[in-house]
Chains A and B, each alone.
Chain A
Amino acid sequence: MSATTSAPDGTDTSTADPVVRIIDLHKSFGAVEVLKGVDLEVHRGQVVVILGRSGSGKSTMLRCVNHLERPSRGTVVVDGEVIGYRIKGDKLHELSPSAIAKQRTRTGMVFQAYNLFPHMTVLENLIEAPRRVKGVNRAEAVADAMQALEEVGMAHKADVYPSTLSGGQQQRVAIARALVMKPSVMLFDEPTSALDPELVGEVLNVMKRLATSGMTMMVVTHEIGFARGVADEVVFMSEGRLVEKGPPSQVIDSPVHESTRTFIDSIL
C-alpha cells in the first residue's frame, strides 16, 4: 500500500528482468487476513532481507513464492513464469500438483527447523531430489552434492546421519541441499532462529559467501547485522503490508515509518 519506494534504484542488477515478482499478494487463513496486498520485485543477484514482527506475514509471503501456501489473491512470478497457474484468456487456471512441483525446482528453501530427512545420510539428503526430480545420474548427483557440501564446509560429514550433527551443521547441510537443485532464487525462512547463539555465525557466514557469489536471495530474519552487511535491499512488513523498502542504511538507520522505527529500536 503505502510503501515508501525508493524507486527501482538504478543499480547494476535491476536492468535485467526480475527473478521474483510478487503482485498484489493476498493470503487469508480462514477469517484472518495475513497478507493484505504485497508487491515486491527481486532482481538477479539481489539479496532482499525481510524484517518485521512475528505475525506480520513475512514467512507467509516467502511460502507463497514457492506455492507452499496458495495465495488467496494476486500472483507470484518466478523467472517469468506464473507459479501455480496457467494463463488462459483473461483467467488463471490452477496447474496440476505435479506441474507445480516442477516449478518449485526454480526456488530453493531453507527452513527454521532445517527439516533434513532423518532416515537418510547427509549425502543421501543431497542427491535425493536431483536424482528423483531432475533425473540426474548418481555419479553426477554425488559430484554436485560433494561440491555443495564443500562450499558449506560439511564435506567431511557426508556419510553421517543428520541427528549426529549440531544445529548449525544441519542448517548448512540444508542450505547445500537446496543449492544442489541449482535454483534461481534461495528463500530463507528464519534460518538462524532455532540455533544456539554460538552457532548462528557459521550459518550467516555461509549465507554471506552465497550472497557474494551472486545468488539471488530472499531472507526472513531478525539478524540486523546480516541485513546491514549483506542486504541490497531491506523490506519492512507490518500487519500484512509492506510498509518500508530501501537500502539497509535507510530502512535500518533512518526509518521513515513509525512502526519500522519502534521495531528497529526494540531489537537493537
Chain B
Amino acid sequence: MKAATVTDSTRVDPSATPPSELVPMRHPGRRLSALLVLLVAANLGYSVMTNDNFEWPVVGDYLFNPEIMAGLRTTLILTVVSMTLGITLGIVLAACRMSENRVLSTLSGAYLWFFRGTPLLVQLIFWFNLSALYPRLSLSVPFGGPELAGAATNGVLNLWAVAVIGLTLNESAYMAEIVRGGLLSVPRHQSEAAIALGMNRWLTFRRVVLPQALRVIVPPTGNQVIGMLKHSSLVSIIALADLLYSAQLIYSQNFRTIPLLVVISIWYLVCTTVLSYAQSHIERHYGRGVHAGGQRPGGLAKLRSLGSRLSQRSRPNDNPNPA
C-alpha cells in the first residue's frame, strides 16, 4: 500500500482508498515497566537467597517436620469443619433475615450485630474463659429451678470445641450476609416462573433460586475460606496446636524464629493456592448458561483449560439428546 498517501493524518482524499492493513496501538511503556519489575524482583530474590539470616537449610530441615505436619493437619481440619458449619449456619441466618416472620429476622439481625461487631480474637478468648462465667453448663428449669442435666464447662468445652465454636459463630455472621446478597441477586421473575409451574417454595428455592444465587455467593465464599485458613491461626492464643502454634513451640526452644515462620508461610501459601484453583473450578460450574461457553480471560485460564483437558470427567450437562 505504499502507493497511498504517506501523510500522518486522519484525513483521506474523497477519491483515494485508505490502506486496509490495521496496526493496533502499541504500548511501549508496558514492556519497559515489566522489565523494571523483573529487575527489582530478581534483586529481591537474590537478596533473599543470599541473606544467611533466612537460614534456608533450617527451612529445609523443618519443612516436613512431624510437628509442623501435625499443625498443618489441625489447621486444615479446623478450616474445613468451621467453614462447613459456618456456611450451613450462614444459610439459615440469611433465610431468617429475609423471612417475613419478624421474630426470626430480628433475631438474625441481632446475631449479626453481635458477632460481626466484636473481634474474632476477643470472641475466642471469651469462649476459652467461659468456665469463669458459667462453671457448669446445665439444662434446668428456667429462672433458677432445679437442674435436669449438666456438666462442668471445662469438661464439655475442650480446646477443639472452643476453637470450632469461636470460628464458626464468627464465620456464620459473615456468610449470612454473603448468602443474602446472592439470594437478592436472583430476579424475582425466576421464582415467579417456578411458582407458576406449580413448584412449591422449597423446590423453587433449592432448584431455581439457590443455584443461581451460588454464582454470586461462590467467589466471596472462596475468599472467606482462604480467610478462615489464615484466621484459624488465631487459635494459637488458646494453645491449640495449629500450624502457627506448632512453629511457635519449636522456635521457643531453638530460637530459629525466621526460618520457622518461612516454613509455615510456605504451607499457608501452598494451601491458599490449591484453594484458589478449586474456587475457579467451582465458579465456572455455577456460571454455566451465563458466560455462554466463553471463558473469562485471566492468569489461571490456561491452567484451568489444561486441567479440564487432563480430567476426563464428563460435564453434568453433556447428556445426549435422546431424540
**Is B281 close to A, CB under 8 A?**
no
**Is B170 close to A, CB under 8 A?**
no
- Asked, given contacts A111-B192, A155-B323, whether A162 binds B200 with beta carbons under 8 Å apart, the answer is no
Q: Determine if B289 and A115 form an interchain contact, defined as CB atoms under 8 angstroms apart.
A: no
**Is A142 close to B, CB under 8 A?**
yes
- Asked, given contacts A119-B288, A159-B317, A161-B292, whether A98 binds B200 with beta carbons under 8 Å apart, the answer is yes
- Asked, given contacts A115-B190, A119-B212, A133-B197, whether A164 binds B292 with beta carbons under 8 Å apart, the answer is yes
Q: Determine if B196 and A109 form an interchain contact, defined as CB atoms under 8 angstroms apart.
A: yes
- Asked, given contacts A118-B212, A121-B317, A164-B292, whether A101 binds B192 with beta carbons under 8 Å apart, the answer is no
Instruction: Quote the shortest CB–CB distance from A162 to chain B (angstroms).
Output: 7
From B193, B200, B320, contact of A97 by CB (8 A): B200
Task: Name the residue of chain A whose CB is nearest to the CB of B292.
Answer: A163
Q: Determine if A178 and B292 form an interchain contact, defined as CB atoms under 8 angstroms apart.
A: no
Q: Determine if A158 and B193 form an interchain contact, defined as CB atoms under 8 angstroms apart.
A: no
Q: Determine if B196 and A66 form an interchain contact, defined as CB atoms under 8 angstroms apart.
A: yes
Residues on B with C-beta less than 8 A from A133 are: 197-200, 203
Residues on B with C-beta less than 8 A from A105 are: 197-198
Residues on A with C-beta less than 8 A from B27 are: none
Interface residues of B in 279-308 (CB under 8 A from A): 286, 288-290, 292-293
Residues on B with C-beta less than 8 A from A263 are: none
Task: Name the residue of chain B whose CB is nearest to the CB of A106.
Answer: B198
**Is A22 close to B, CB under 8 A?**
no
Residues on A with C-beta less than 8 A from B198 are: 101-105, 129, 133-134, 181
Instruction: Quote the shortest CB–CB distance from A171 to chain B (angstroms).
Output: 12
Residues on B with C-beta less than 8 A from A142 are: 322
Interface residues of A in 201-247 (CB under 8 A from B): none
- Asked, given contacts A119-B211, A159-B317, whether A101 binds B290 with beta carbons under 8 Å apart, the answer is no
Interface residues of A in 189-207 (CB under 8 A from B): none
**Is B208 close to A, CB under 8 A?**
yes
Residues on B lying within 8 angstroms of A by beta carbon are 189-190, 192-201, 203, 207-208, 211-212, 215, 286, 288-290, 292-293, 317, 319-323
